[in-house]
Amino acid sequence: MGKWLSRIHRGNLFVGRRLLCSADGSQTKARTDEDGVAAAAIQILGKTYPRDAMTNVTPTIAELVGRNLHLAPHNPVNIIKQRVVHHIHKTYTNRTGNALYAHFDNVPPVVSTEQNFSSLLISPNHPARSKKDNYYINNEVMLRAHTSAHQRDFIQMGFDHFLVTGDVYRRDEIDRSHYPVFHQMEGVRLFTRDKLFENCSDKTVGLFEEEGSDMATESRDKQAMHTLEAVKMMELNLKETVVKLVKDLFGRETEYRWNPCYFPFTHPSFELEVKFKGEWMEMLGSGIMRQDILVNGGAHDKIGWAFGLGLDRLAMLLFDIPDIRLFWSKDARFITQFESVGIDPSTDVSFRPYSKYPPCYKDVSFWLPSQGDGEGFNGNDFCDVVRSVAGDLVERVEEKDRFCHPQTDRTSLCYHITYRSMDRTITNREINTLHNTIKALSAEKLGVEIR
């Protein structure tokens, strides 16, 4: 299913991602309201946007915009954000003893596709832009898929050190660790030549290669214009910054490892894995920023590194939270458990499930609309239909079976849906109603034939 950027969050799109084409029936039809009037516009955060063929933000998703869990008192996502910011603020100060990094956590998630992709040098036909994986408001604006969308803009505003925290949106499968909205923190630091080499007695070493010199070519280690010395210094600084942070969050003894990886907006790029309860976990993507991003932000004489950190997964690990939907629960039995948790890890708690309500399982089978392998249908469209009907009562959607009829060449799919409420016992009757609505809506929106 949809794999966007680094695997900490969803799976690294930029490494060997399958290319699926999608003719997205569900979202391209103009929606009609109850009176049958075509709803030509969509409202998000009080603003109206025209719909077009790219629109695929569902009302369920639109309702989540503005919940801002990273700003909500006692929400574990907010607690983790505060811990990271506190660490960065106390560790890095400027000449006057003030915090070096600016922190922005109130930037609305509605961004242009230019910000989300082009500003990061993601090419016009790059699979990361797929409608299958992203929430488009229309052809020009979308719900940001990552906080990297703001890198260039803050550089342009003149910031050399900053953090951006926000809600990010990706279409994906449904299970305990995937939700269409999660939270990221972006970290960016730019250096001038003098700052980077302040402790270096060699005054001839610089950030940039002479144009035309033998070293001015891209290699595994560096971008063409950078000197190897500058890149290695940056790499050390980036890794030291991140490792200090990780040790502050998880403890001094934490085991970690760096893996090389690929992003269109950094080179070289590194992914960090941390060992938690015996298992390696991807935590963040990072790298030396592509120089064009700095140039476009007006910082051509500097060099930069950046990282992107997923907050929800971190919070789930640190507080033993078993299901990502819990962050969104409005049940007081969730949030009250975190009231006494502060910046200091000594205030940590382990989440106590307030009883586990029984699940209800249902299957749905259908024939895909087109002949052959069902090209034109994708699982994320189905997940959005399921979510729009059953919301957070869906715990998991699994593809259970797929086969192609030898005579008719039609493909049949079977999905196994786990329904469970976080807060109460659900009844078979109510789930039957929801499940039947899902079937009807799938037939209507996705053109499938229910079996």
Q: Is 266 in the site for ligand DAH (CB under 6 A)?
A: yes
| By CB under 6 A, residue 226 contacts ligand DAH | no
Query: Which lies closer to ligand DAH via its Cβ, residue 308 or residue 369?
Result: 308
CA dist., res. 27 & res. 136, Å (int): 10
Structural contact between residues 155 and 300, judged by C-beta atoms closer than 8 angstroms: no
CB atoms within 10 A of CB 370: 14
Examine residue 148 and tell whether it contacts ligand DAH (CB under 6 A).
Answer: yes
The verdict on 306 binding ligand DAH (CB under 6 A) reads yes
Task: For residue 146, state whether it binds ligand DAH (rule: CB under 6 A).
Answer: yes
Angle 428-446/379-390 helices, nearest 10 degrees?
140
Beta pairing class for 279-289 and 161-169? unpaired
Residue 133 engages ligand DAH in binding (rule: CB under 6 A): no
135 interacts with ligand DAH by CB under 6 A: no
First to last CA, the chain: 23
Least distance between ligand DAH and beta carbon 142 (Å) = 14
Q: What is the DSSP string of 322-365?
A: --GGGGG---HHHHGGGTT--SSGGG------S--PPPEEEEEE
- Cβ nearer to ligand DAH, comparing 159 with 263: 263
Establish if 76 lies at the interface with ligand DAH (CB under 6 A).
no
Minimum gap (Å) between residue 170 Cβ and ligand DAH: 9
**Residue 438 backbone phi and psi in degrees, to 5:** -60, -45
Tell whether residue 180 is a contact of ligand DAH (CB under 6 A). Answer: no
Near ligand DAH by CB under 6 A: residue from 6, 56, 115, 223 = 6
In angstroms, the CA 221 to CA 223 distance is: 7
Contact between 186 and ligand DAH by CB under 6 A: the answer reads yes
Binding region for ligand DAH (CB under 6 A) out of 86-94, 281-289, 346-354, 412-420: 281-289
CA distances from 324 to 114, 132, 150, 317, 329 (A): 30, 22, 25, 11, 10
5 is an interface residue for ligand DAH by CB under 6 A: yes
Rg (CA), the chain: 23
Among 9, 189, 226, 387, binds ligand DAH (CB under 6 A): 9
Q: Could you list the residues that contact ligand DAH (CB under 6 A)? A: 5-6, 9, 146, 148, 186, 263, 266, 285-287, 306-308
